Amino acid sequence: MLDYGVADAIYLVTTDLREPTKDGAYTDNWGWPSLFVNPNIYGKCYPKPIFNVFRMLSMMQGKRVAASITGGKVGCFASVDKPHRTATILLWNYDSNVYESKYRTDLSSMQQVTCVLNGVAKVFRSRTTRYSRYEVSEKTGNAYYLYKTAGKPDDRAELQVLETRTVTHGKEGNLAVQFVLPPSGVTLLTFRVVN
């Protein structure tokens, strides 16, 4: 990196660094851009929100298909895997001002979302579909929130499934689900044919 004039850099590391204290214990450094908290501090390698978002991205199967949002600051993209008769949609609620010398200002607010899938009968070839919704937000799947409120993370830092149910689409082949997406939240919707 020195060849390119970059003298200092921060790398994405797998776990937080730790510093020893005078009594032989360790203190955690939450500021590091890592995927997990340090297991030597809390006894387990709990994921940070960014890892949970990567996990949701890895659950998207098939080919990307057109997806659109009307109104609000919610973004999305979707994929369909016809051979496995699945569809996945990733949505995020993010709107902020990011400053060079200050903390970012989060401008996002709770968003009521209605997600409509058109023509699912062609993909699923079934009227019954298993729907699941995963979420990462300030209070869900967030090790830092647990650290701030409970003093340490626990299994609630893992990726959370907020909703799982069977849904049936109409004769025209359209399917709709509704939910609330918190500020700076990311959610993954999965639809799979029930055998």
15 within domain boundaries = no
Q: What's the pTM?
A: 0.83
4 within domain boundaries = no
144 within domain boundaries = no
Has residue 1 got a pLDDT over 50?
A: no
pLDDT in tens, 121-136: 777 877 788 999 999 9
187 within domain boundaries = yes
49 within domain boundaries = no
pLDDT of 17 reads 65
176 within domain boundaries = yes
Domain containing 65 equals: 61-137+157-193
Which CATH number goes with the domain that contains 110?
2.60.40.1500
Nearest-angstrom CA–CA distance, 80 and 119: 12
pLDDT bracket for residue 2 (50, 70, 90): very low
12 within domain boundaries = no
Has residue 172 got a pLDDT over 80?
A: no
33 within domain boundaries = no
| Total number of domains constituting the chain | 1
pLDDT in tens, 40-92: 777 888 999 999 999 999 999 999 998 888 777 899 999 999 999 999 999 99
pLDDT of 81 reads 93
